[in-house]
């Protein structure tokens, strides 16, 4: 069985390109691996707590080896609870829009809530930093409104703070096996948008078949 977790990061449920591509991947993967168990984390319907003073005190008390008081423990438990689905999944699928050349604030909020020592990574002087989500695969569906090719006005090398950031974060938390699906030009007119979605959906189908085929 594959436990697939889809982390939805676009609030645009009806026309989201990142969601459409992620769904194309998931549907084809499910066809290939029928006992796939899919769960969804919609960051826009989830109540994300503030990373407030109490949560900070909990984090730094733990780093300093100090006991947590009841309020700090409860704040820390909530962060662990938010991260639990990531630990439980074998295959993470993220659908990520590009907002202002980076990621939507809800996703950054989620990342800040769950990326802590003892939750998604460990540290000790002998081994240094180690991500705790090893042995997992991530598929990320990135959607962008403009053209990010090298000859465009917004070449990825200078303007893309979405994909490099997500790749670095996934690596940091231990996921080296990453695959990306990029849908661009979604705001350059309906024809261009449609062609772009269709081309990336075909790639999503191919990737789903490839990942399904390599299962033991």
Ligand X SMILES: Cc1cc2nc3c(=O)[nH]c(=O)nc-3n(C[C@H](O)[C@H](O)[C@H](O)COP(=O)(O)O)c2cc1C
Of 94-123, binders to ligand X (CB under 6 A) are: 97-101
Measure Cα distances from 42 to 49, 75, 174 in Å: 15, 21, 22
Please provide the distance, in angstroms rounded to a whole number, between the alpha carbons at the two ends of the chain.
Answer: 11
Q: Tell me, residue by residue from 26 to 55, as one string, x for binding to ligand X by CB under 6 A and - for no binding.
A: ------------------------------
List the one residue from 146, 178, 180, 212 that touches ligand X (CB under 6 A).
146
17 in a labelled binding site: yes
Exposed/middle/buried for 209, CB within 10 Å: 0-12, 13-18, 19+?
middle
Chain centroid to Cα 198, Å, comes to 22
The reply on whether position 187 binds ligand X by CB under 6 A is yes
CA 29, CA 68: separation in Å to the nearest integer? Answer: 43
The least distance separating ligand X from the CB of residue 145, rounded to whole angstroms, comes to 3
The reply on whether position 156 binds ligand X by CB under 6 A is no
- Comparing CB distances to ligand X, the nearer of 14 and 214 is 14
Residues near ligand X (CB under 6 A) = 10, 12, 16-19, 97-101, 143-146, 186-187
């Amino acid at each position: 069985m594959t436990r697939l977790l889809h982390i939805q990061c676009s609030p645009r449920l009806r026309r989201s390109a990142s969601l459409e591509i992620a769904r194309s991947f998931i549907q084809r993967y499910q066809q290939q691996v029928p006992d796939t168990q899919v769960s969804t984390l919609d960051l826009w319907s989830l109540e994300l707590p503030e990373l407030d003073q109490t949560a900070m005190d909990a984090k730094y008390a733990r780093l300093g080896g100090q006991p947590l008081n009841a309020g700090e423990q409860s704040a820390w438990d909530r962060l662990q609870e938010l991260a639990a689905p990531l630990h439980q999944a074998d295959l993470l699928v993220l659908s990520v829009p590009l907002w202002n050349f980076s990621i939507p604030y809800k996703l950054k909020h989620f990342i800040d809530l769950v990326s802590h020592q003892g939750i998604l990574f460990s540290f000790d002087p002998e081994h240094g930093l180690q991500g705790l989500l090893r042995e997992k695969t991530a598929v990320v569906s990135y959607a962008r409104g403009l053209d990010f090719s090298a000859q465009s006005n917004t070449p990825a090398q200078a303007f893309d703070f979405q994909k490099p950031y997500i790749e670095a974060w996934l690596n940091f938390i231990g996921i080296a096996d990453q695959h990306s699906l990029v849908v661009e030009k979604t705001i350059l007119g309906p024809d261009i948008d449609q062609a772009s979605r269709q081309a990336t959906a075909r790639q999503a189908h191919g990737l789903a078949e490839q990942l399904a085929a390599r299962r033991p």
